[in-house]
Amino acid sequence: MNHFLDINKTDPAELRKIIDTARSMKEARNGYLRGKHDDDLPLKDHIVALIFEKPSTRTRVSFDVGVRQMGGQTMVLSGKEMQLGHGETIADTARVLSRYVDLIMIRTFEEQTLLELAEYADVPVINGLTDRTHPCQIMADILTFEEHRGPIAGKKVVWSGDGNNVFASFAHAAGQFGFDLTFTGPESLDPEMEFVTQARAKGSNVVIERDPVKAMQGADLVVTDTWVSMHDPQSARERRHNQLRGYQVNDELMSHAKPDALFMHCLPAHRDEEATSAVMDGPHSVIFDEAENRLHAQKAVMRWCLGV
Ligand code: CP
């Protein structure tokens, strides 16, 4: 049984297998996004619980569609409506759900909730985002980069903005897939150093550069995210905007990256805050390929978890 909890907890060879499976499953659909089941229905007779303690559009819909395309069934559960939101322990929830379903995906706040669920579940658990990391997103991003530009190993990824949970999974991926990563943002919003040191220990050149223009030199991929994440207090909004304004990804900033650099944003975006609409809808942008690839990458993650 394989849990998919974080990119740094999965062996690089297994991660490569997941990306390759995603790519071949996507190709096998021959361009069909909707109205078609996969030929071999690997999740036939499987039921997947999708638990959301936070809002979601992409994660919710892409997991649900992915399971159905593979012949399985889903149960979308809101944390608040479950006894989990009314005092039942994670451990008991894990033990009970394991008697009903074949796989659990959870989007939650604390990383500890995810870890405890995995510890007590007898079925695989997938991290659909915590306050600390977002591994499914970055698997989709790796797939997207490689579809457009070939192997990501040895490339330079620049993250501009808040050192948040999505950045953390990029740092995990830098170590596992062998690319270099530059963070540019204000010191007060630096990522946790643990993510940086882990990636460096695996040979990735991780750089922290306060000057966004310098950071962009030689960038193959530029990434940003919302300035106020779901778990940040709304009272921090004005302060964060003031701190991050200089890190907005706009045409001028993109002009300092390589001419063929890609632009990614995991979405949802606040257009014309962290990135301008000109960049989001411009020639460098692959944001909707990223969104689509959540579907393909997660289908491969689920197959890997279940060994089917
Ligand atoms: N990128 C992402 O996880 O989107 P949702 O919050 O809509 O699931």
Neighbours of 22 (CB within 10 A): 26
- Predicted confidence at residue 286, as pLDDT, reads 98
Predicted structure pTM score: 0.97
Q: How far apart are CA 187 and CA 101, in angstroms?
A: 44
What is the CB-side half-sphere exposure of residue 97 using CA atoms within 13 A? 31
pLDDT digits over 15-68, tens only?
999 999 999 999 999 999 998 999 999 999 999 999 999 999 999 999 999 999
Q: What is the pLDDT of residue 1?
A: 84
Residue type at 197 in one-letter notation: T
CA distance 300 to 4: 11
pLDDT at 25: 97
- What pLDDT score was predicted for residue 232? 78
Is the torsion defined by CA of 207, 212, 217, 221 positive or negative?
A: positive
Q: Is 277 in the pocket of ligand 1 (CB under 6 A)?
A: no
Q: Contact 264/31 with Cβ under 8 angstroms?
A: no
* Residue spans of the chain under pLDDT 50: none
Give the contacts of 31 (CB within 8 A, at least 6 positions apart): none
Pocket test for ligand 1, best of 294, 295, 298, 301 (most atoms within 8 A of CB): 294
Determine whether the shortest distance from the Cβ of 25 to ligand 1 is under 6 A: no
**128 CA to middle of ligand 1, Å?**
9
Distance, in Å, from the CA atom of 15 to the CA atom of 113, rounded to the nearest integer, reads 24
